[in-house]
Structure 1
Amino acid sequence: MTADTTAVPRRKLIEVALPLEKINAESAREKSIRHGHPSTLHLWWARRPLAAARAVLFAQLVDDPSSFPDRFPTDEAVAKERKRLHEIIEQLVVWENAGDENLLRRAREEILASSDGNPPPILDPFAGGGTIPLEAQRLGLEAHASDLNPVAVLINKALIEIPPKFAGRPPVFPGAADAQINTWPRATGLAEDVRRYGQWMRDEAEKRIGRLYPKAQLPDGSEATVIAWIWARTVTCPNPACSIAMPLVRSWWLGKKKNKEAYVVPSVLNGKVEFSIGHDPKKAPTKDTDGTVGRTGAVCVGCGAAVELKYIRAEGRAGRMGTKLMATVAEGERTRIYLEPTSEHEEAAQVDRPIDVPDGDLAKNTRDFKTPNYGITSFVDLFTSRQLTALATFSDLVGEARERVLEDALAAGMPEGETLEKGGIGAVAYADAVATYLGFSVSRLADYGSSISTWMPDPKNEGIRNTFARQAIPMTWDFAEANPLSSASGNFWFMIRGIGRTLDVAVTRSHSGSALQRNAADREYNNFLISTDPPYYDNIGYSDLSDFFYVWLRRSLKYIHPEVLSTMLVPKSEELVANPYRHNGKSGAHKFFEEGFREVFRRARETALPDYPTAVYYAFKQQSSDDHGEASTGWETLLEGMIRSGWSIVATWPLRSERGGRMISVGTNALASSIVLALKPRPVDASTTDRRGFINALKAELPGALRELQQGAIAPVDLPQAAIGPGMAVFSRFSGVLADDGSKMTVRAALARINEILDEVLVEQEGDFDPDTRFAIAWFRQYGFDAGAFGDADNMARARNASLEHLERSGILTSRAGKVALLSPVALAEMYAALPR
């Protein structure tokens, strides 16, 4: 079939078709990867997968072949060329290919060919954890990151600014350069120095505070290094006849490996609680006997009295909450050794609180911060005195290590030069750079070294759970105090090793990127192509949470990054997050967010590049709702805001990064965990149309758009969501669509019309699909990934000449207990990956 050779607009891949199945599968797989992943540099919440960002950036820049009917005159030629470009994306998103120079060279050649050899610089004004700027740099593009949050700014500097500055240089630590005969490619020399000076810090810390971490005496008389001490918080039992220091414990379990079970056994002797270690699985805690604290209150282990949470809160706020050592975890030969507590180990932790530790009050954010209810109201309250002593010691050593790096760099022949903040690349800047990563290691140590960290007894993951296991600071009853000088998880060397591995594979082939502290609502956007993942509504309180790290980063690095770390805490009033407690309630928070969001994209629209689509990631709130509920309202608010800001929405791509089918509930299950919007500036002289004109345009354009989507290896279950893009492209190209009464059609009404026409088109096109696909599309439109009755599924399958038995054998659905449910795309990808090859 011959393609239409009349003049066509130049479109990018992201406007037409993407290989979503592969992008989503690799995004999900990436969550289990740690070695060398930027997430091990420093924690940031809700990072976008590198795979997705890499694919989106490539698709923003590379032309779709339909733009060139002279070169690709037939539909077959267009499809063939599009398939070739999609194969490049499918290779790019594989984690193991992230450093494949030949593949990256091919990708850069395609980008240059589609941008007349001069691709635009990339900007993420909500840079956060740095995923998008880093991937722009990997693709050879000029990367710019900005964020209001200083922790995010430092993370981006560490990812895109610093490694290229010092690429190819040998380490300066005495004797380190001799360890490698050949050159030091990329930032491996910098990584080696971080490891060497990090080891020096660890050894020096042991000299200064090693006495606070005594060895454990084993039953055979030998000694072992302690991994962690397990503590329980305590309050006095309110029963006057008892009055023991009753332990508040979530779980007695220490280890659940088969034949190696271990748990704490409490007993009361002479009015005091004692703890021993049990190993008999027959006497192990059950669901009914595990722990002393539940959702409604606690139980005293001495008298069995039920104690309300309000009493525990009152004791905590009065400063009467204590701690009691329950168990000691020691290093064994490829195992953990659980030991009863001793007075020596309990007394070793009783040290004076250091004077020069960072302080500041926790946010009055009752959703994300639960500890203030119990009297833990400041940052120092989150740590034991021994933990504060260790963190302060390591923080002091960052400055001392910097002086040693400077001395060694000068001795190695490096010119002195300017500071890192002033753009230097000599010895002073290098010492600043190494110290920055060492400061990150202290900040990361705080995440594993607070009294919010807990012990995980899981058979496959027996160790310390970090403070931010989720995006909040919860109240923990029993906690694990890690030994920062051990060799197990949660120790200082664990942090250094992770940072070193990230630097070993850091992107350095492109020139240094730029990371600045800027408010997205008032920064300039001239000549930048925007690809960004903005905060959405109140999902995460970034500034409140990141204060936890900021106070330690500031203590360690304020003289190295004085501008970024100038404030006592993270700036909050301008942060684009809908915080009711900060903006006069829910309505004030909603107004603040909506107006701020619109202002950002209004400013970006003023200088948007007309030939390149802007990409905006949108994260859905994971909650149930009906057709008129909050989730759909959030989606509509976003679309409405973009359109009012002067944008035309040209594509909507569902991204799924969940592992194993954690899809959202009835009413929102057609929506992926996040969506990438592709936007182009709408001409200021765009015309209006009426309802009939809008519907006629939909009927004319949606069939062709769906065919293009289907060529992009998109899963049938994602087709309805992706098809919103072409529909919204029709709606938003007009300055307004007039309803029958003369008023402007709302986004909600437009979405309803788009879905109606989409249903009609899909029914017509079902004849082009095989029976299994026809069933999957029809079932998904009705049930999403939720279960439906077997009888209904059987009737639907028979009507399409499909077999439920065959569909189940093929791994498309599950059928059990009279219910049928489709497997999610991610679950399918994981199942296929597990098959023998």
Structure 2
Amino acid sequence: MTKTYKKKLIEVAIPLEAINEASAREKSIRHGHPSTLHLWWARRPLAACRAVLFAQLVDDPSSNPEEFPTHEAQEAERKRLFAIIEDLVKWENSTNEEVLEKARAEIRNSCGGELPPVYDPFSGGGSIPLEAQRLGLPAYGSDLNPVAVMIGKAMIEIPPQFKDEPAIHSGPKERQFYRNAEGLAEDVKYYGEWMRDEAWKRVSHLYPKVKLPKKFGGGEATVIAWIWARTVPSPNPALPDLQTPLVRNFHLLRKKDRTVWVDVVANDEKTDYHFEVRHNSGPVPGPNVGRTGAVCAVTGEAIPLAYVREKAQAGQMGQRLMAVVVETQSGRDYISPTPEMEKIALEAEKSWRPETLIPLRHRNFQTPLYGMTKFGDVFTKRQLCSINAFVDTLKGLDREIRNRPQSNFKSDELDKYISCVRLYLAFAISKALTRNCSLAIWETGMGRLAGALGRQALPMQWTFAETNPFAGAGGDIAGTALSVAEVLDSMTFLEAGRVFQHNASEKNSIVQNFVLSTDPPYYDNIEYADLSDFFYGWLRRSLKSDYPDVMGVISVPKQEELVASTTRFGGSEAAEAHFMSGMTEAMTTLAAQSSGEFPAAIFYAFKQSEIEEDGISSPGWSSFLEAVIASGFSVVGTWPVRTEAVNALKKGMNALANSVVLVCRKKRAEAETITRADFVRALKRELPPSIAELQAASIAPADMPQSAIGPGMGIFSRYNAVLEADDKPMTVKAALQLINAELDDYLGGIQGEFDADTRFAITWFEQNGMKAGEYGAADNLARARGISVESVRHAGIVESAAGKVRLIPREELDANWEPTEDDHLTIWECLQHLLRLHEEGGLSWETVRMMRMIGARAEAAKDLAYCLYDISANKRKDAKEATAYNAIIADWTELSREAAKIHDTRRDGQAAFDL
């Protein structure tokens, strides 16, 4: 079968650094960002999704040789397309119609005016279909998980249905004209406040103001939060009524200028105690509970962890109020609790609660070990009462809206609109659950509440914070409704989208011949279904009548979920078999239904702990690749996407990017079978030029192993099979190891192209680092390269004295060095002087000037930086040195661009141009 498709930009080159920079910056965006609609795990950055979709659909210039006949013309066109992407990925341009329309026009041009549908069959948090919709494409998403489906509907499907419609609430309107979903957003905000007021009528007696001590000025104050300690009965048989507090942190506030803590004050008989808040730095007790057990805060007796678990599982774990956080005239403060405060909370009437079981014996769920076996158990009585009050209030939304009709909606349209408003308000409640449960904690450094599920787990919390959901602080449900409204307010779209519940392993009848862009589950990283049950019971209680097809099941489906759960499937082998078979089946189905005109883009997120042990051939990664290739896809490229800032590069060394985008094409039907030897020969022939191209694009050294996977797996996956010596097919893991070995050979091989003094310095650095070594060893090393130690010393690379030789550190190099005046110039010097200036000033004028002065030697200096990064990170384990090489290559393109502008390289020539 002859290839008939046009090669797309993503198959050749993308402006990776600009995408990574925008993706990292996006993590700090909160107000209005779609990720704040509702919690979902491991969302891909919108910037990365937007850029990948654009590059999937837009032709690479090499596909149009009539218009771009030369290499130079093609490079110029890529540069123009890169500029569009660089604008497109900026968060502030996500609603800029001028920038978006420029990108849409390029897509229309490459697609001949007929836009293909984009489909993400694992849509999760909805990032990919949302960005497809932003780019003007028909957007489709599906997921097995009902929580994900409702998130997708709320972001992609519902807002376009009410495009430019005015708000219908009966209060004063915020604006005269409404664009996109601004009217819907205003209604969500308005009815969020209404919901809060109605719920307050039901449970206000549970949230009374408290009397302030005289030292705080007296009067009354609103409670922001209550700080609780869990308790177990004392193991001392002589003290049957003593409930021992289990406290991980007695601090309430811990800042340089202020310390607030809780003291345990026992009675004289040491049969009981009470808590007192202290406002000083006096002897704060240490934690009295840990991994091995506890110590009684009253008697000092040891309490084994087994005893704590036994009592907890018998239903004998209680709670005592430690402190109360209040809002005073002078700001937030802390007061001691009273029995009356504790009594109000503990005697709240029982309400409905979720009965779904929390997974037992699971590494991410510790609460069943302590008697909290159902999701309803992680809420206090008062929390259950207030959450139910909010949910029950939503039942009256129909009546509230219909009693004050303010719109031109027909009856059936109004029914639909009310259901949609209720969905967003249900999300406000659901989103607030992480702060309105007994697994939320009080951050003593910031003096604020931190919600549960900060990571993908429900760990046990011995000391927890109960927020006041009516106080306007963290966990206030009207506040979360406002944040939901802000997401709707910031949306922009041209077309309606669709999100539906579907098992990706099965063919769908809704969308065909689609562009596949997806972010599937990652082996055993996150078990979405179990985590989603934390929210699902409450969402179902709110939305079952409005969305019976999606919210009909009792709990989130789990057996079909494509994760390698050892808990669910009884062991690692069975878990991997489930993942492999399910993912292979899903990818096979998707490959058959997707369009052959466009490459597929598949995100894969790495689990760092797994990567540290196994490198790029880790079990999850290799299993995932195995499934993709077995489905009929051939991998033609890999792009590492980093969502962390460069200065957070883990340990400065070999930390891999957060995710990799696999670029895939359908495999040729007539693909042949080859031997291992044939594969190795093909790697040696084809991989070096591809790595050279990646280097030319200034791919950071830390990302090079992942980037090299693309062309390497492109060779492996284009064949039907690669046979080992025993005629068994080669595994993906074995292929990955061969690809990595070839990358190492390449980086080692380019050393031969450097001058002899530089080659000496590389080997000496690998053996000794910056420490001194014996002169005899240095002499032998130099002679093997046809030079002498004196030659390397004359070059200014080493110093030699008293029978010792050492490399001269960058910080000791001559600050007045000029490459044009050096009569013994080496690549080593060029790079080290450039690094010295880059470490001092980054993209400063001095650094750019040095790049310009190095001139034609710059590319060799970059090759050397790759070599030295590899030695520093992988052989010497020198984090500081590795970070320096990685950082300068990350800036290499910008340095080269600015250096090209210089026409006066004198030290006083800064005024001759504008950086």
628-637 vs 529-538, which moves further: 628-637
Which residue is 1:189 aligned to? 183
Which residue is 1:498 aligned to? 483
User: Is 1:714 the counterpart of 2:712 in the alignment?
Assistant: no
Which residue is 1:582 aligned to? 568
Cα shift readout 1:515-551 (whole Å, capped 9, x = no counterpart): 1111111133631111111111221111111111000
User: Is 1:102 the counterpart of 2:98 in the alignment?
Assistant: yes
Q: For the structure 1 residues 756 and 540, does the alpha-carbon distance in structure 2 shift closer, same or farther, using more than 3 Å as the test? A: closer
1:570 to 556, 562, 566: 556
Which residue is 1:640 aligned to? 626
**2:694 and 2:66 mapped to 1: Cα distance?**
22
Which residue is 1:603 aligned to? 589
Q: For the structure 1 residues 597 and 245, does the alpha-carbon distance in structure 2 shift closer, same or farther, using more than 3 Å as the test? A: same
356-365 vs 340-349, which moves further: 356-365
Whether the 8 Å CA contact 2:716–2:722 is kept in 1: the answer is: yes
User: Is 1:517 the counterpart of 2:505 in the alignment?
Assistant: no
**2:570 and 2:312 mapped to 1: Cα distance?**
29
Which residue is 1:480 aligned to? 465
Cα shift readout 1:360-413 (whole Å, capped 9, x = no counterpart): 22222521211111111112211111100000000011121233234444x422
Q: Give the superposition deviation at 1:209.
A: 1.1
**1:619 and 1:587 mapped to 2: Cα distance?**
21
Which residue is 1:421 aligned to? none
Q: Give the superposition deviation at 1:553.
A: 0.3
Q: For the structure 1 residues 222 and 624, does the alpha-carbon distance in structure 2 shift closer, same or farther, using more than 3 Å as the test? A: same
Which residue is 2:115 aligned to? 119
**2:490 and 2:340 mapped to 1: Cα distance?**
44
Which residue is 2:709 aligned to? 724
**1:256 and 1:474 mapped to 2: Cα distance?**
23
Amino acid at match of 2:460: M
- Which structure has the greater CA radius of gyration? 2
Whether the 8 Å CA contact 1:125–1:145 is kept in 2: the answer is: yes
Which residue is 1:273 aligned to? 273
796-805 vs 184-193, which moves further: 796-805
Cα shift readout 1:621-650 (whole Å, capped 9, x = no counterpart): 221567868962332222222222211000
Question: Secondary structure of 1:587's partner?
Answer: helix
Q: Please, which runs of 5 or more residues in structure 1 have no aligned partner?
A: 1-5, 418-425
**1:661 and 1:294 mapped to 2: Cα distance?**
33
Q: Give the superposition deviation at 1:258.
A: 3.0
Higher-helix-fraction structure: 2
Question: Secondary structure of 2:880's partner?
Answer: strand
Q: Give the superposition deviation at 1:818.
A: 8.7
Cα shift readout 1:315-354 (whole Å, capped 9, x = no counterpart): 1111111111111001235732101101221122133443
Which residue is 1:298 aligned to? 294
Q: Give the superposition deviation at 1:714.
A: 2.8
**1:551 and 1:828 mapped to 2: Cα distance?**
50
Root mean square deviation, CA, Å: 3.4
**1:7 and 1:765 mapped to 2: Cα distance?**
34
Q: Give the superposition deviation at 1:241.
A: 4.8
Q: Give the superposition deviation at 1:597.
A: 0.7
1:222 to 204, 219, 223: 219
Which residue is 1:414 aligned to? 409
TM score, norm. by length of structure 1: 0.89
Q: Give the superposition deviation at 1:782.
A: 9.0
359-368 vs 809-818, which moves further: 809-818
Whether the 8 Å CA contact 1:521–1:600 is kept in 2: the answer is: yes
Amino acid at match of 1:725: G
318-327 vs 807-816, which moves further: 807-816
Question: Secondary structure of 2:252's partner?
Answer: strand
Q: Give the superposition deviation at 1:98.
A: 0.8
**1:259 and 1:500 mapped to 2: Cα distance?**
38
**1:214 and 1:171 mapped to 2: Cα distance?**
34
2:454 to 452, 457, 469: 469
Amino acid at match of 2:255: K
Q: For the structure 1 residues 234 and 739, does the alpha-carbon distance in structure 2 shift closer, same or farther, using more than 3 Å as the test? A: closer
Amino acid at match of 1:531: S
**2:126 and 2:31 mapped to 1: Cα distance?**
17
Q: Give the superposition deviation at 1:491.
A: 1.0
Question: Secondary structure of 1:615's partner?
Answer: strand
Which residue is 1:249 aligned to? 247
Whether the 8 Å CA contact 2:165–2:183 is kept in 1: the answer is: yes
Amino acid at match of 1:503: L
Q: For the structure 1 residues 71 and 557, does the alpha-carbon distance in structure 2 shift closer, same or farther, using more than 3 Å as the test? A: same
353-362 vs 369-378, which moves further: 353-362
Q: For the structure 1 residues 226 and 655, does the alpha-carbon distance in structure 2 shift closer, same or farther, using more than 3 Å as the test? A: same
RCO comparison, higher one (Cα < 8 Å, 6+): 1
Whether the 8 Å CA contact 1:788–1:819 is kept in 2: the answer is: no
Whether the 8 Å CA contact 2:351–2:388 is kept in 1: the answer is: no
**1:156 and 1:248 mapped to 2: Cα distance?**
41
Question: Secondary structure of 2:350's partner?
Answer: coil
1:36 to 11, 14, 32: 32
691-700 vs 77-86, which moves further: 691-700
Which residue is 1:526 aligned to? 512
Whether the 8 Å CA contact 1:706–1:723 is kept in 2: the answer is: yes
**2:890 and 2:7 mapped to 1: Cα distance?**
33
1:231 to 221, 228, 235: 228
Whether the 8 Å CA contact 1:156–1:515 is kept in 2: the answer is: yes
99-108 vs 110-119, which moves further: 110-119
What is the correspondence of 1:613-624 to structure 2 with a 5 Å cutoff? 613-623=599-609
**1:751 and 1:631 mapped to 2: Cα distance?**
6
Question: Secondary structure of 2:231's partner?
Answer: strand
Which residue is 2:735 aligned to? 750
Percent identity (aligned):
46
What is the correspondence of 1:753-764 to structure 2 with a 5 Å cutoff? 753-762=738-747
Which residue is 2:840 aligned to? 809
2:439 to 438, 452, 459: 452
User: Is 1:823 the counterpart of 2:883 in the alignment?
Assistant: yes
2:171 to 172, 175, 182: 175
Which residue is 2:419 aligned to? 432
Which residue is 2:366 aligned to? 370
**1:685 and 1:78 mapped to 2: Cα distance?**
31
Cα shift readout 1:211-232 (whole Å, capped 9, x = no counterpart): 1101122231222211101111
Cα shift readout 1:402-448 (whole Å, capped 9, x = no counterpart): 33234444x4221112xxxxxxxx21111111010011111122221
Cα shift readout 1:546-585 (whole Å, capped 9, x = no counterpart): 1110000011111111111101111111111122232232
761-770 vs 84-93, which moves further: 761-770
**1:189 and 1:202 mapped to 2: Cα distance?**
20
Whether the 8 Å CA contact 2:212–2:221 is kept in 1: the answer is: yes
User: Is 1:651 the counterpart of 2:646 in the alignment?
Assistant: no
Which residue is 1:441 aligned to? 428
Cα shift readout 1:729-779 (whole Å, capped 9, x = no counterpart): 1221121234456544433343344334434544566799999xx99xx99
Amino acid at match of 2:883: L
**1:475 and 1:719 mapped to 2: Cα distance?**
40
Q: Give the superposition deviation at 1:705.
A: 3.0
TM score, norm. by length of structure 2: 0.82
Which residue is 2:658 aligned to? 673
**1:762 and 1:810 mapped to 2: Cα distance?**
28
Alignment coverage as a number of residue pairs = 802
